[in-house]
Amino acid sequence: MKNELLVAYRYLTNNWVQIQASNMCGCCHCLQTFPPDAVVAWTGLHFDEVDDPEAIQRQTALCPLCGNESVLGNGAGFPVDPDFLGRMNEAWFQRTIIRRPAAKT
Q: How far apart are CA 8 and CA 105, in angstroms?
A: 27
Q: How far apart are CA 37 and CA 35, in angstroms?
A: 6
Q: How far is CA 12 from the centre of its chain?
A: 3
pLDDT tens-digit profile of 3-45? 899 899 999 999 999 999 999 999 999 999 999 999 998 887 6
Domain ranges within the chain, ordered by starting residue: 4-93
Q: Record the pTM.
A: 0.81
Q: How far apart are CA 80 and CA 83, in angstroms?
A: 8
pLDDT higher than 80, residue 54: no
